[in-house]
Structures are given as C-alpha cells and as structure tokens.
Structure 1
Amino acid sequence: MPSNTPSTSNGPWDAKLQQFHGGQDWAHLDNFVEDFSVTTNAFGMPEAAKLAAIQSVEHGHHYPPADQEPAKSSLARFLWPEQFETEVDRLILGNGASELIDLVIRMAPEGTWKPGPFHTQYKEYERSARNNDYEMLSSDSADKANVVSLVNPCNPTGDYLDLPELKKWISENTLPGGYVLIDESMQPWHSPQFREHSLTTQREYVEDLYKTQGISVFVMHSWTKLWCCTGLRLGSVVCPTADHMRAIKKIQVPWSVNTVALAFLNAVVTDTVYLEKTWEMTPEWRQQMIDRLSQMFPTWEFHGRKFLSWIWVDTKSEEVAERAIDLAKKAGVPVRSGRPGYNLPTFIRLAVREPAKVNVLLDAWKAI
C-alpha cells in the first residue's frame, strides 16, 4: 500500500488499494463551474479532434487496429517532424501513461527504485514500484538505484531540469544495467521549441548510455493534459530501442488503446493553431493568477516554471489550505489538495484557467 495513504475523503478511490489522484470532485457538484484540480489545458478539447473522436464511434463495432496505426505514425511526426520514419519503431501507445509506466516497471531489473530529486512527484511510479516489490530509496539517498523515475517538469511541484541537469542526474543515480523512466508529459507546454529541450530528441545520448552502461532510458508521455482529453486515456513511451518497444508490446494487452482515442490522437497532432494559442496564453494567464493571488494572500508562495499549466501554492497553513479547498468546492471550482497522495497539507494546486473562471474562484476565497 502506498506510504502516503490519503487521510481525507477520497470519493470513488479505494484508499486501501489505489493511489489517490485528483479530478473526481467535479462529478459530485451540483453547481460545477470549472475544474481547477487537474492540470489540463485551459482551452478544453480541440474541436476538430473532438469531432473526429465522435465520428469514430460509427466504427465502434470493429476492433481498433492492433498496430495502433495511423495514429502512432501521426504522433511520431509530431515528436520528430523530420526523422519520424527512423524513430517510429521506438514508440508505442498506451491506455494512458499509467498503463505504460506499469508495463515498463514490470520489465525492469529487480532491486531498488528511486524517485526524482524534488520534494514530491506524480505518485504512479512509486505505486507501480511498490506493487512490484522494489526496495524504495528516498530521493536524497546517496545510493544509485536499479530503476529511477523522474517527472520533468515535475507535477505537482513545478520543478524542472534542463537537459544538462537531467543527464547529470541520470548519471549520478542509475546503476549500470538500470532502467530510467523520465516523464515528459508537461514538456510540450515549454514553447514552440519544446523538442529541442526534450529527451525524445537525444537519440545519440540514449544509444550511448545503453551501449556503454546497459542503461535503458524511457521517455513517458500522458497526452491527456496537453490536449485536455483525460477521459480518453492516451499515453505513449519512447523506448531506447525498437527491441524494448517490442518487449512492451509482447506483454501489453491487445487493443489497449480504443478506436475513439486513436481517432482523436490522429487528428489532434495537426492542430497547430491550438498549440500556438496554448503557448501564447498559458504563461500570460498563469502570471495574472499569481499577481492577483499575491495581492490577496501576501504570505503565500507560488512555485513552478512560467510555462506550466498549473501553480503549486504553499499557503503556509494547514487550516488555510483546508479552508481554501472547501470554499472552492462549494463555489463549484474545485482545487487539488496537497494532503491526499502527497502528504503536504499546507499546499494546494491550481490549474491555469481563463480570467472569467478565475474570478469565480477568487470571489469564493474572499471569505478566507
């Protein structure tokens, strides 16, 4: 069982069996306005891709393609616009990143597991490592591990390692023959140049690590945040070699990505207007939120890079954090508590949203 077992009401989550995750409160609110508890794109599902997903239901009486095509190649073109034909064999899709995280860790060498260097990170890696009987090392342990997992940019803390820092961390924390899982789900928010800052484009580095030290680097993505489609369950992993990809495919349940999700992905990767809007407005709206919150609550601390789709907030008080969470929920704009899952009760996480929706949240917080 995860060490940070939730201590508050978890709605549909079975606290004895499952790792807590946010995004559940909205369905139980009669006055729901906006979900600030999840780090999805403020612009919602892209319309053309949503239409493609809806239309795909017409083919719901057929099995989805077992090779995940053409959606997989379309995603490869998105990741590697010029080299996709030589890279696509390292790519595989999954039913959300969670499925792929679990599959990779099942394949990994036995022994020790270690998280990234940040205060906390997305807990699915820890959950899978515990379920597979790894010895858990702390992030500040001096020991190298057989399996390491780093979320970069880190959800929820907002910490971020540039490529030289990331490579240094991998070198200092991974045993020869080990597995490295780097979660870049929020990396595409970086800028139009996100590929230049991503491990997905570092093929020579990844190949060298594998050839010289036997270290296998997997780059994980959940695509449901960037394109606001969490209900579709859509993830991918870029493997160090095509052989690693085939090893995952061998143990993956057939047709794990459904027809609707594949149709959505195949269409959404070409929506450049949506991404340009995201890159332009997310930093602007995020800074506006921080400026307004700073005026209301001068003692609060705000964490995270400017391009991120959320703000990690330390209210400095458990009581204040709980009050903020309760008031937000009552106003139909739930936020994420740092208590369940992360065991950081003074923290809350706020998604970046358009100013009109932010007004509702801040009006509710005038009572704090």
Structure 2
Amino acid sequence: MLERYGHGGDLVTAAEMYGIPASDFIDFSSNMNPFGPPDAVQRVMEQRWRDLDQYPDPAVRGLRSKLAARHGISMNNVLCGNGAAEIIDLVIRAMRPGASVALAVPGFGEYADAARKYGGKLFTVPLLEDDRFRLSEASVFETVERDKPGLWMLGSPNNPTGQTVSRDLVLKLIDTGAFVVIDEAFIDFIADEDRLTLVREAAARPNLLVIRSMTKFYAVPGIRLGYAVGSPEVIAAMRRLQTPWSVNSLAQWMGEAVLGDEAYEQRTLAWLAEARPHLAASLQALGFTVFESAVNYLLLKLPDRCVLDASELQRRMGQRGVLVRDASHFEGLNGRFIRVAVKLNEQNEKLVQTLKAVLLESGTHAEMERG
C-alpha cells in the first residue's frame, strides 16, 4: 500500500513497490506547489549554512514577527511548529477535549489520529457526494444538539475535497461555546484568501484557532514548518507543551525569506487559475467525475464503467512512474475515489495520457467509447 504511513508523497515506499528510482516519479499524490521552492530558499542554504553551529531561536521571534505583520496581529497570537502536524497535536493536548471531538468526513486523517491518541471520542459529520462534499449547516448543528462536542476540527479548504467552510458557519459554531480549530493549510492557493481566512478572528476570540502551513504553497515539505494563530492564552498553553527548539534554524530562516515574495505568489495563483480547470476538463473527458475544488488538488470518482478500483488503478499508474492518491483511505470514501494534485501543463498531460493508457488496458476506455 502506497499510503502505508498515512500520507501521499512517500517516494521511498513508491520506489520499493514499483522498482523505479524515486527521482523518476511524477508525484500527483502530494499537493505541493509545482514551481518548487522560491529562489530565496536556495540563498538561505548557500549563505547561512555556517550558522548551523548555533542553536535556533527558541522563541522563533523573527518568523513570528513577520507572520504577525503579514496578518495584522500580535506576535503573542502566533505559535510556529514543526509542520501543521505538530500544531494539530499541540492543540488537542492543550484543549483536553476528552470524549468529544467532532470532525467532517472525509477529511484529513491526522485530526482523528491525534484525538484518539489522547483519549478523545469522535463524532463525525458526513460530507455527502450528492452535496458535492460541502459541509452542511444543518448536519453541523444536528451534531451540536445531539452530541455537544467540545472541540471541532475542520479543514478549510478541506483535504481531500478542496471545499472551503463558510465563515458564517464557523462563527455560528463558535457561538455555541465549543472550541473550533480551522485548518487553513492550503488557503494560500486561493486568490481571495483574505476574504476567507479566519486568522484575525482567531487572534481575537478565545475559542477559535487557525492552523496554517508554509510547506505546501512554498514547496518545502522536507523542512516541516507550520504555525497557529489564536488568543494569547491558547497560544501560551500550546507553547508550554511544545518540545524545545521544535522549529529548526533552516525552517525559521526559510520561512522569513519566502514571506513577501509577491512575484512567486502571483505566478502561482496565475498558473493555478489556468491549470486547474484545464486539467479538470481533460479528466472529465476520460469519464472521471471531477469535484469542484478551490485549491491545487482534485478529488475524482472513477468512471462508472471502470473495472478497476482505486488501489489497482494506483498500482498500474505507479508502474508507469505516475503516483496518484488512493482516496479510499479517507474515511467516508470508497474504492471509487482518487485524489490528484494539479501540476504544470506538461506534467498534467502526462497524468491524463497515463490514465487513458491504464483505462484502455483494462478495457474501460474502449467500453466508454462504444457506450
């Protein structure tokens, strides 16, 4: 199983499974910016490597200051961490939700993993295919009334569906008294993110926390860098639980360096506005159901006449050097779903042509043409 460690982007496992060097894969199973790291990342590595004989700043003051200025909030509202994964773990521990954590499914698996690790009982709100996987206000408040969860963890944009959560819905949920965590790891890929983000609300409210990632948009997942925005009291409670020097020096320097690279940001947004609809149309032409997404990945349902399930499709694609995510590992989805990243046009064309070849080999595409 390619997702044996719970995520896409595992090139070591892919190389072991398919006998292809890791560098030879085109990886659509993880959702990174296809332009790669900004030039500032290379400059940091070239210019600051000698500074690695010093400890990192334990308070991450330089990066926190830049993030606070970017969002118009105080440094006391910001906590940096070893990727969004550490932030998820810290907020669960700090809030001690006990037996009441609510999640929307399908959603990012680490929310549930972290809750279970600390004894939480899970309540799930299903995102329905018939509703295009949008979070329904009615289903949310049905869960509020029935189960009274103390903590909500929601992705906006959600992974794997790419859907955002209504700001009004989140604010109504906060008013119930529950603690709400909104994971905005992919929101940088949305051109009008300022209209959607809840960062400033999180800084002002005691029961709202926003999680952000710097590794997806700036394509530095190997560094591990994320941050949380919340009230000073919540941030302080999380910091007390954090491992010292959790954010290494390279991560801090790179984070500072990439912020404000407007040319990189605009290039990325312009690419995605063109590439995503073009890829979606090409996949629909092959018979896939393509669900609407606000970001740089697409949830797909296999063609009705496809005789392969997601696992077998993934295997045959992997043998050809193209990796896709088997989305059946997300709770609430079955073996008819895969997820793919949006990449550069040449890579996207390789994805489409490889999918077409696999479908033809299985007889699916020929059947579709006859039908």
Aligned twin of 1:181: 181
- Among 190, 197, 214, the alignment partner of 1:223 is 214
Structure 1 Cα separation of the partners of residues 79 and 45 of structure 2: 20
Aligned twin of 1:16: none
Structure 2 Cα separation of the partners of residues 9 and 295 of structure 1: 27
Aligned twin of 1:65: 57
- Among 111, 115, 124, the alignment partner of 1:125 is 111
Aligned twin of 1:332: 321
Q: Do 1:113 and 1:129's aligned partners in 2 also have CA atoms closer than 8 Å? A: no
- Among 135, 144, 147, the alignment partner of 2:148 is 144
Q: Do 2:38 and 2:218's aligned partners in 1 also have CA atoms closer than 8 Å? A: yes
- After TM superposition, list the pairs within 5 Å mapping 1:287-366 onto structure 2: 287-297=277-287, 300-305=288-293, 307-315=294-302, 316=304, 319-342=308-331, 344-366=334-356
CA deviation string 1:217-249 (max 9, x = no partner): 11011211111111100010001x212212211
Matched, 1:105 2:95: no
Q: Do 2:155 and 2:165's aligned partners in 1 also have CA atoms closer than 8 Å? A: no
Structure 2 Cα separation of the partners of residues 228 and 318 of structure 1: 35
- Among 271, 279, 295, the alignment partner of 2:261 is 271
Structure 1 Cα separation of the partners of residues 64 and 281 of structure 2: 41
1:32 CA drift (Å)? 1.9
> Secondary structure of 2:34's match?
coil
Structure 2 Cα separation of the partners of residues 110 and 294 of structure 1: 42
1:339 CA drift (Å)? 2.3
Could you tell me which runs of 5 or more consecutive residues in structure 1 were left unpaired when the two chains were aligned.
1-7, 14-19, 211-215
Structure 2 Cα separation of the partners of residues 91 and 98 of structure 1: 16
Q: Do 2:225 and 2:247's aligned partners in 1 also have CA atoms closer than 8 Å? A: yes
Aligned twin of 1:167: 171
Paired residues, what number? 331
1:151 CA drift (Å)? 0.6
1:324 CA drift (Å)? 3.0
Q: Do 2:2 and 2:10's aligned partners in 1 also have CA atoms closer than 8 Å? A: no
Q: Which structure has the highest helix share of the two?
A: 2
1:54 CA drift (Å)? 4.4
Matched, 1:233 2:224: yes
Higher RCO (C-alpha under 8 Å, 6+ residues apart): 1
Deviates more, 1:259-268 or 1:45-54: 45-54
> Secondary structure of 2:124's match?
coil
Q: Do 1:95 and 1:234's aligned partners in 2 also have CA atoms closer than 8 Å? A: yes
Aligned twin of 2:367: none
> Secondary structure of 1:294's match?
helix
1:9 CA drift (Å)? 5.4
CA deviation string 1:175-201 (max 9, x = no partner): x3x42111011112211x312321112
Q: Label 1:322 to 1:310 Cα distance change in 2 as closer, same or farther (>3 A).
A: same
Structure 1 Cα separation of the partners of residues 257 and 237 of structure 2: 28
1:57 CA drift (Å)? 2.4
Matched, 1:190 2:190: yes
- After TM superposition, list the pairs within 5 Å mapping 1:253-272 onto structure 2: 253-272=243-262
Q: Do 2:309 and 2:335's aligned partners in 1 also have CA atoms closer than 8 Å? A: no
Q: Label 1:54 to 1:245 Cα distance change in 2 as closer, same or farther (>3 A).
A: farther
CA deviation string 1:5-39 (max 9, x = no partner): xxx4545x3xxxxxx11110366132724211111
Aligned twin of 2:78: 91
CA deviation string 1:95-124 (max 9, x = no partner): 00111111111111433333344x410011
Q: Label 1:43 to 1:9 Cα distance change in 2 as closer, same or farther (>3 A).
A: closer
Q: Label 1:133 to 1:63 Cα distance change in 2 as closer, same or farther (>3 A).
A: same
Report the TM-score when normalising by structure 2.
0.83
Letter in 2 for 1:255: W
Deviates more, 1:161-170 or 1:99-108: 161-170
Identical amino acids, percent of aligned pairs: 27
Structure 1 Cα separation of the partners of residues 48 and 307 of structure 2: 47
Q: Do 1:109 and 1:146's aligned partners in 2 also have CA atoms closer than 8 Å? A: no
1:363 CA drift (Å)? 2.0
Q: Label 1:145 to 1:288 Cα distance change in 2 as closer, same or farther (>3 A).
A: same
Letter in 1 for 2:212: H
Q: Do 1:321 and 1:345's aligned partners in 2 also have CA atoms closer than 8 Å? A: yes
CA deviation string 1:297-341 (max 9, x = no partner): 2xx211133x41100111155724334312321222201111234
> Secondary structure of 2:347's match?
helix
- Among 28, 35, 49, the alignment partner of 2:41 is 49
Structure 2 Cα separation of the partners of residues 283 and 144 of structure 1: 40
Q: Do 1:149 and 1:181's aligned partners in 2 also have CA atoms closer than 8 Å? A: yes
Structure 2 Cα separation of the partners of residues 38 and 271 of structure 1: 23
Structure 1 Cα separation of the partners of residues 292 and 103 of structure 2: 16
1:53 CA drift (Å)? 3.7
Structure 2 Cα separation of the partners of residues 36 and 115 of structure 1: 29
Aligned twin of 1:5: none
